[in-house]
Structure 1
Amino acid sequence: MHSKIRIILADDHAAVRKGIDIWLQRDPRAEVVATASDTESLADRIDRFPCDIVISDIGMRGIDGESNAIAFLRRFLRQPERPRLIVVTMIAQPQMLAGLLDLGADALVDKRDCMESLNQAMVAVIGGDRFVSMHADALLKSHIENKPSQAGVLSAREWEVLQLYAGGMSLISIADRLERSIKTIGTQRRNAMRKLGLETEVQLLNYLRQIGLA
């Protein structure tokens, strides 16, 4: 292994990227070799910069217009030889977190735990272990076992409906705006919630706040 642990860091919020970058620079074991602001640039950095760990948010828009980076990360995790993946997220949905582990993420770090846990996560995954930070672990322990894990990617139309809904529009107004029936809009919202492991209106609103839409 190289003398330092090489890291690619991806987050669509510049302040978060900068904060994590500055924190990691304090650790003599770590070297941030590249940063990315979206999923497309993350894919580019992974191709161009050899690394040992990818630290990535999942809330970034997907390469093909998906609602998040999960479709790309799913493909990334299927590679037989790949860097370790540490997911850093504000998502507080147990089913989605469980789904990320099912996909093969090597570590989950809740952003509330970020600075205290990143170094631990880095050492753990390099050593071949899995790591889950304190808040993420508490959420996972609340996950009901008979409910399926979810790490879903919304269709473009489902994502469009959620964006408008997050902006305060009613289902009727969304139907008028998109020239679809109210039944279709309702179905698309329900499908989006199912893919995200959300069951109630409160959970949906919390999720939209967590990803910065509401």
Structure 2
Amino acid sequence: MTVQEQEQNKMEDKIRVIVADDHACVRAGVRSLLGQIGHVAVAGEADSTQALAELLDSCACDVVVTDLGMPGIDGESNAIQFLRRLLDQAPHLPVVVLTMIHQPSILMGLLQHGVAAIVDKRDMTASLIHAIDAGLTGQGYLSDHACAAIAKAEAPQPRAGVMSAGEWKVFTMYVSGMTISQIAVRLNRSAKTISTQKRNAMRKLGLETEADVIDYACQIGLT
């Protein structure tokens, strides 16, 4: 048996994890942490949603550990829409979200769409391995900070509906600093239509005020 075949057999005996984050230091931290655990191995790394999609097509894995605030596909500014599609297409693949987002409605929405676990990056050292194991057994997992964030909401409920591509585009243009009128001109739509799409996007994200919009945009790297 060749060295390559031996290494392949070793990998198959372990939990194969794909790690996705646009910050090399975070990926290195996750790789180092998982390297200390005998039954887990990093099968591949990605620094964008596009790279993650390509890796999933070419690399066998048992769990995906991913950030949300990464460059997305087709101009998307984060990985949320991609993860929604992934979870619809591969519902049995455990996805562990590693994030600094602390908005209850967003975290609840991720759980609603089938994310196996959410780990706040501040809890990574203490919680990531537990989250991976829990995701594989279908138990679900929230790290301490993620659990506390959700608990802050009064009877938190995930918002109904998923944003359309048009609503997301309007929302990202708005948080980039464009006015409703400017967006209407750019997209050749009426200001009333753009305003409605912006409100719908806010409602589906669970955002009620302009301060909420700014906070959300900062959390996922839109600003």
- TM-score w.r.t. the length of structure 2 is 0.79
- Greater shift, 112-121 or 56-65, is seen at 56-65
Q: Within 5 Å, which residues of 2 pair with 1:56-135? A: 56-60=66-70, 62-63=72-73, 68-78=78-88, 82-135=92-145
Conserved? CA contact 2:119–2:146, under 8 Å: yes
- Greater shift, 197-206 or 6-15, is seen at 6-15
- Which whole-Å CA distance do the structure 1 matches of 2:135 and 2:204 have between them? 28
Residue in structure 2 matched with residue 137 of structure 1 by the alignment: 147
- Greater shift, 5-14 or 163-172, is seen at 163-172
Residue in structure 2 matched with residue 5 of structure 1 by the alignment: 15
Instruction: Please point out which of 32, 36, 41 is paired with 1:22.
Output: 32
Which structure shows the bigger proportion of residues in helix conformation? 2
Is 1:206 equivalent to 2:212 in the alignment?
no
Instruction: Please point out which of 51, 68, 72 is paired with 1:41.
Output: 51
- Describe the SS at the equivalent of 1:157: helix
Shift of 1:121: 1.2
Residue in structure 1 matched with residue 5 of structure 2 by the alignment: none
Identity across the alignment (%): 50
Residue in structure 1 matched with residue 194 of structure 2 by the alignment: 185
In structure 2, relative to structure 1, the CA distance for the partners of 1:195 and 1:13 (3 Å cut) is: farther
Conserved? CA contact 1:100–1:151, under 8 Å: no
Shift of 1:154: 3.7
Conserved? CA contact 1:86–1:107, under 8 Å: yes
Instruction: Please point out which of 148, 161, 164 is paired with 2:173.
Output: 164
Bigger radius of gyration, 1 or 2?
Answer: 2
- Describe the SS at the equivalent of 2:83: helix
In structure 2, relative to structure 1, the CA distance for the partners of 1:177 and 1:11 (3 Å cut) is: same
Conserved? CA contact 1:70–1:152, under 8 Å: no
Is 1:52 equivalent to 2:62 in the alignment?
yes
In structure 2, relative to structure 1, the CA distance for the partners of 1:188 and 1:7 (3 Å cut) is: same
- Which whole-Å CA distance do the structure 1 matches of 2:99 and 2:91 have between them? 24
- TM-score w.r.t. the length of structure 1 is 0.82
Shift of 1:178: 4.1
> How far does the alpha carbon of each residue in 1:160-198 deviate from its partner, in whole angstroms, 9 at most, with x for none?
333333333333344444444332232221111112111
> How far does the alpha carbon of each residue in 1:90-131 deviate from its partner, in whole angstroms, 9 at most, with x for none?
222212211221222111112232233212212322344211
Unaligned runs of 5+ in 1: none
Q: In the comparison of the two structures, how many residue pairs are matched?
A: 213
